[in-house]
Amino acid sequence: MDKTKAKRVLKVYGKPTFINKKTGKVAFTFARQNIENIKEIEKMSSKELIESWKGLVWTNQIYGCVSLGDMQRINLIELEMDTRKDINNKKLSVWYEESKTKQKKVESIEIKKWEKEKKSKEVRK
């Protein structure tokens, strides 16, 4: 993994903790990646990287349940994947596009059901 880029990813996402100015104690802590997570990612097999990447990308970018900690992890995984010659980025791009298309179809069906139910309720009034 390119350590300079990885450290930049850690820095760009900001500090995960806010301190309560009155008490000086931690008020909120948000999930963020750190140096230990980089080491963990570097130890993953290519198969583990791909599985982790797909799960995080699907949840955060396709389904839309965004977590900054997950987005940061996606960036770090992608940096590691870029160094692996056995990972086919073209296949992953195809998977990504197909997954987006499938999700759009599901959402379209759900929207149509919702609109039909809404019209049905309006007719009853």
Q: How confident is the model at residue 45 (pLDDT cuts 50, 70, 90)?
A: very high
> Which residues have C-beta within 8 Å of that of residue 37, sequence separation ≥ 6?
73, 76
Confidence of residue 12 (pLDDT cuts 50, 70, 90): confident
pLDDT at 10: 82
Average pLDDT rounded to a whole number, residues 47-54: 95
Q: Has residue 30 got a pLDDT over 80?
A: no
3-7, 19-23, 40-44, 65-69 — which one is most confidently predicted on average?
Answer: 40-44
